[in-house]
Structure 1
Amino acid sequence: MDFKTLTVQRDGAVLIASIMAPPMNLLGPELVHDLVSFISEAEDDETVSVIVFKSGDPDFFIPHVDVTQIKAYRDEAARLTGEASIAVLFRYLSESRLVSIAQVEGRVRGAGSEFVMGCDMCFAAKESAIFAQMEPAFGVVPGGGGAQHLVRLMGRSRALEVMLSANDYDAELAERYGWINRSLPAADLDEFVRSLAQRIAQFPVSGHVAVKRRVNALALAPIEDFRRDSDLFGEGVREPVAQKRIQAAIKRGFQTRDAEMNLGKLLGELNDD
């Protein structure tokens, strides 16, 4: 497997994909292209049963989409699902025969949060992982399935808090809210995820498929709801209010490493612009 934004290692029936898309792992067309190719190739390899996603950047897992390339990354998603929607792409991952695990260090916001919720499990470093579903700060609905997952994971009130505040949440609070499986010390995270992935991989793939199918029937929103959220985001992000706030955020450093280390503060101050 040869990719521009992913480095892939194999550990038996487990593939570990490290995300490295400089300058800060934004979800743009190159990263979506590689994720699509990686998922497709892994599914085609019958000797692979578990995939792990981690980041090669200690500060950023996937901070959010590249707001300057929305059409381009959506078109890349269509190569796997036939639909220009990352919501449908992430839901595809949830339904895949592969068991997917997100190992998070650094910031994961917006579509990054939606990506890790599309994975089957998520484990995060206590010291460095930061989560946010911040699209409402721009006046739009999360477009990659965020609302669908968050309400089911943490309930109505907490989902509303997370989205309407558009704020940053550390790994321990994210665990307490049900956003992720567990937060662990960074020093223990690699070994924990490796051991879990290997344990799962030793069991029959037929069991993975059967269990995922039943759990998804109970907990995964219908694909029409993901499509609707994707459409609402696409429509909303073109509205003057959203465009004005995006431009105001860009003037203050949005989509640069320094500003996004504390994006929650920046978004909270946008009304001053």
Structure 2
Amino acid sequence: MALETLDVRGEGPVLFAAITSPPMNLLGPELVRDLVSLIQTAEADGDVRVLVFSSADPDYFISHVDVTQIARYRAEAAKLVGEPSIGLLFRRLAESRLVSIAQIEGRVRGAGSEFVLACDMRFAARESAVFCQFEQAFGAIPGAGGVQQLTRLMGRARALEVMLSAQDYDAELAERYGWINRALPGAELPDFVRSLAHRIAGFPAAAHVMLKERVNAITLASTEEFRRDSDLFGEGMSSPEGASRIKGAIRHGFQTRDAELDLPRMLGVLAEDAEEPRSDT
């Protein structure tokens, strides 16, 4: 499978897909296009049962969406789900007959976090994985399932803390809050995930489908709720304040690899800028 932003290899019924979208694994139209192709191809292959997602970049799993390409990446998502929404694309992954596992090293923020939340299981490197939902810093809400998934996983208070604070959370705290299944030493993570993926793939595929349908009936928010969050995200990001904050963030290095290593500091600078009194002259 030749894809521009995913390095895919198969081991029998398990497909391993490493995200390779330099300079910082932004979720843009190319990566969304390749995710659509991967899901379509894997689902059409009756021998594939488990998808494992990882990153070839030790610092970034998926950083977040490319805010300069929102219309384009939404158009790519529509090719699978019929609507311009990565939230519905991620919900489609959660509904898939395939079992999906995220093997997380590096930063996973914004829609990157929402992508791993759509996966059936999430395992993270204790030393390097970092999680964040920062949309509030731009006057928006998570628009690709984060509100729905985090509230169900963490409960009301912790979900509000995570989303309102726009702070980074390390793997150990993410595990404690329920964001991920487990935090593991980075050296042990690949073998653990590989062993689990093959164990699951060895069980009857029809039972996977049956179990996922029943669990999703209890835990997966409706399509209408995903649509609503997607619309609210778009409204927030395109509002005058949202657009102004995006411009300010880009001036401070937003969407550049080195500057986003410490994204919370940058978001704090944006808040300080917004609070500065304006001259009447």
TM-score bracket for this pair, using the shorter chain length: over 0.9
TM superposition shift of 1:266: 1.1
Q: Distance in 2 between matches of 1:101 and 1:271?
A: 35
The structure number with the bigger radius of gyration is 2
- The residue number in structure 1 matching 2:253 is 253
Aligned pair count reads 273
**Distance in 2 (alpha carbons) for counterparts of 1:246 and 1:67:** 8
Between the aligned partners of 2:259 and 2:144, the Cα distance in structure 1 is 23
Give 1:208 deviation, angstroms.
0.4
Residue 228 of structure 1 aligns with which residue? 228
Q: Which runs of 5+ in 1 are unaligned?
A: none
1:208 is the counterpart of 2:208: yes
Q: Secondary structure at the match of 1:101?
A: strand
Q: Tell me if the contact between 2:138 and 2:236 (Cα under 8 Å) persists in the aligned partners.
A: no
Aligned amino acid, residue 254 of structure 1 = F
Match of 2:277 in 1: none
Return the alpha-carbon distance in structure 1 between the equivalents of residues 141 and 8 of structure 2. 33
Match for residue 64 of structure 1?
64
* SS of aligned partner of 1:200: helix
| Cα-to-partner distance string for 1:101-160 (whole Å, 9 max, x where unaligned) | 000000000000000000000000000000001101101011101000000000000000
**Other-structure match for 1:94:** 94
Q: Does 1:10 align with 2:45?
A: no
1: CA distance between counterparts of 2:45 and 2:259? Answer: 40
**Aligned-pair CA distance for 1:82:** 0.6
TM-score, length basis structure 1 = 0.99
Letter paired with 1:119: C
Cα separation, 1, equivalents of 2:269 and 2:44: 47
Q: Percent identity?
A: 67
Distance (whole Å) between structure 2 residues aligned to residue 38 and residue 271 of structure 1: 39
**TM-score of the aligned structures, taking structure 2 as reference length:** 0.96
Counterparts in 2 of 1:256-271, with a 5 A limit?
A: 256-271=256-271
Q: What's the CA shift for 1:56?
A: 0.4
Aligned to 2:131: 131
Determine the structure 2 residue equivalent to 1:54. Answer: 54
**1:217 aligns to what?**
217
Q: How does 1:237-252 map to 2 (within 5 A)?
A: 237-252=237-252
* Aligned-residue RMSD, C-alpha: 0.6
Name the SS of the counterpart of 1:61 in structure 2: strand
Report the Cα offset of residue 272 of structure 1.
2.7
1:178 maps to 2:178: yes
Distance 2:67 2:218 in 1: 33
1:265 and 1:198 map into 2 onto residues whose CA distance is: 40
SS at match of 1:90: helix
Structure 1 residue 100 displacement after superposition: 0.2
Q: CA deviation at 1:271?
A: 2.2
Find the aligned partners of 2:148 and 2:99 in 1 and give their Cα distance: 20
Q: Which residue in 2 is equivalent to 1:84?
A: 84
- Offset at 1:203? 0.2
Deviation track 1:187-223 (CA, whole Å, cap 9, x = no partner) reads: 0000000000000000000110000000000011111
SS of residue paired to 2:188: helix
Deviation readout 1:219-259 (Å, 9 max, x if unpaired): 11111000100011111111011011111111110000111
- In the other structure, the counterpart of 2:104 is 104
Report the secondary structure of 1:9's partner residue. strand
Task: State the distance in 2 between where 1:178 and 1:231 align.
Answer: 26
Residues 245 and 270, structure 2, Cα contact 8 Å, conserved in 1:
yes
Q: How does 1:7-46 map to 2 (within 5 A)?
A: 7-46=7-46
2:75 counterpart letter in structure 1? D
Residue type matched to 2:185 in 1? P
Aligned to 2:147: 147
Q: Which runs of 4+ in 1 moved over 3 A?
A: none
Q: Which amino acid aligns with 1:25?
A: N
